[in-house]
Copies of this chain bind each other. A is one copy, B any other.
Amino acid sequence: MATKIPYKMYLTEEEMPKAWYNVKANMKTQHPPFINPATQKPCTKEDLQAVFCDDCIDQELNETDEYIEIPEGIRNFYTNFRPSPLVRAYFLEKVLDTPAEIYYKFEGNNTSGSHKLNSAAAQAYYAKKQGLTSITTETGAGQWGTALAMASAFYGLNLDVYMVKVSSEQKPYRKEVIRTYGANVIPSPSNTTNAGRKILEQFPGTGGSLGCAISEAVEKAVTTPNCRYVLGSVLDHVLLHQSVIGLESKIALDKYGVTPDVIIGCVGGGSNYGGLIAPYMGERLQGKNNIEFIGVEPASCPSLTRGKFVYDFCDSAQTTPLAKMYTLGCGFMPSPNHAGGLRYHGMSPIVSQLYHDGYMKAVSVEQSRVFDAAVKFAKCEGILPAPESAHAICAAVDEALKCKKEGKKKVILFGLTGTGYFDLAAYKQYNDKTMTDYIPTDADLEKGFDTIPKCAVNEGLL
């Protein structure tokens, strides 16, 4: 390339995507439909309408349209925090002394501290458009809760956030950000729902889980007038909204004639990675590129690398529809010494299907290596990454060092999903050298698998 690639590439407002990209339009195998556990039949639009906003359901079920317009009201809010920078990691390349070119798309430069705001903006907009007055959700580490609180404040909606109790205690300041934007934070499990009361009875003193918080938020939504539930990951329409990450990245890189050889991202529920890879995966599915896609998960919560590809509940209280996905079992909870996020038992059905069909790989990494990579990155690239995002850094560093060993000049793109400003308790553990790793044994995993429902779809009867 004659043109020097700048450290940071920002799109102009005119260059920003005006439509999301729907990867399903190019998938040869669609993931199987959601199943209504009561009827054991595929969920209808009507089944979903009690829980989700209408526009989001339409997007969830859309398998045909490649591009779906981003309404002006959402693009307007996007200007609040987008475009995000695509960064050439010159400093990291130098520290690693690698022939590889490394790029990262940084989604953390907003007050939610992560990519979550991309879908929060869309979902709050659609809720408002539908005439709803309030929405509910759950949050674990708090990034999603913050994002939705910001979007709810912007569009003028009431918001109840069920926050995993242990997180609300460990991260009181995350809770405070959410409150500052006007939302109501309820530590989960709580006494405000049947699901919460049931968990509290079964496990008194529990610190809660994301699955349990989901159950509470869904119950609250369906029992409150003019209210719906909003989810921050896993679902197809969330991945659709997150495609803005990949679209912006591709527009920026295309301008410089750069195509990645490898695209790396952390996978928890799968939405950021699904969004980052979307347009590139779309081309791959059409035989237009041969990019290597690598999802990175924690060794302590290895849904892709060690999970089962079956129907499972999306929540631990077993109240949601069943989704066909890689799962550790809806009752799985990672070890308490796991500090690095990405603790969801399942995985986006789209990402699961792509992985199952061999279009992407997955690797798992231990958290001490993840934090090593995080600190190395922070010292040269400046940004203190979220532990979640540092999973991607770790794998990108591994890839760049492999390039060095093999003398290969690959182009690596990874997703830097967020900042670690509210994860300092984990960094303290690392700095104090009290951080430990955890890899579940097969027996540990079996306990989780035992919580996967025995149902018609899993037994091949449907």
Contacts and interface: CB of A to CB of B under 8 A. Distances in A.
A426 to B, nearest CB: 9
A110 interface: yes
Interface stretch (A187-195, A213-221, A223-231, A373-381): A373-381
Interface residues of A, number: 43
A81 interface: yes
Interface stretch (A6-14, A40-48, A327-335, A354-362): A6-14
Contact of A427 (B91, B176, B431): B176
B424 A177 contact: yes
Interface in A1-35: 6-8, 10, 12-13
B177 A384 contact: yes
A449 interface: no
A388 B110 CA distance: 19
Contact of A424 (B109, B110, B176): B176
Contacts of A6: 12-13, 79
A381 B177 contact: no
B181 A427 contact: no
A182 interface: yes
Copies of this chain present: 2
Given A13-B7, A382-B150, A421 B424 contact: no
Contacts of A409: none
A394 to B, nearest CB: 16
A87 to B, nearest CB: 9
A154 interface: yes
A419 interface: yes
Contacts of A383: 110-111
A202 interface: no
A170 to B, nearest CB: 11
A339 to B, nearest CB: 13
Interface string A398-415: 000000000000000000
A429 to B, nearest CB: 10
Contacts of A173: 173, 421, 424-425, 428
A441 interface: no
A90 B80 CA distance: 10
Contacts of A113: 421
A10 B10 contact: yes
Contact of A375 (B180, B425, B427): B180
Contact of A381 (B80, B182, B421): B80
A393 to B, nearest CB: 14
A111 B13 contact: no
A422 interface: yes
A262 to B, nearest CB: 24
Contacts of A422: 421
Interface in A424-459: 424-425, 427-428, 430-431
Contacts of A8: 13, 79
Contact of A154 (B172, B181, B379, B419): B379
15 contacts: A7-B80, A8-B13, A80-B91, A111-B378, A111-B383, A153-B380, A154-B379, A172-B424, A173-B421, A177-B384, A177-B421, A179-B427, A180-B384, A180-B427, A182-B379
Interface of A: 6-8, 10, 12-13, 79-81, 90-91, 109-111, 113, 150, 153-154, 172-173, 176-177, 179-182, 375, 378-384, 419, 421-422, 424-425, 427-428, 430-431
Given A153-B380, A173-B424, 16 more contacts: A7-B13, A7-B80, A8-B13, A8-B79, A79-B90, A153-B378, A154-B379, A172-B424, A173-B425, A173-B428, A176-B424, A176-B431, A179-B431, A180-B378, A180-B427, A180-B431
Q: Which 10 interchain pairs have the tightest Cβ spacing?
A: A173-B424, A7-B79, A153-B379, A80-B382, A176-B424, A111-B384, A10-B10, A421-B421, A176-B428, A109-B109
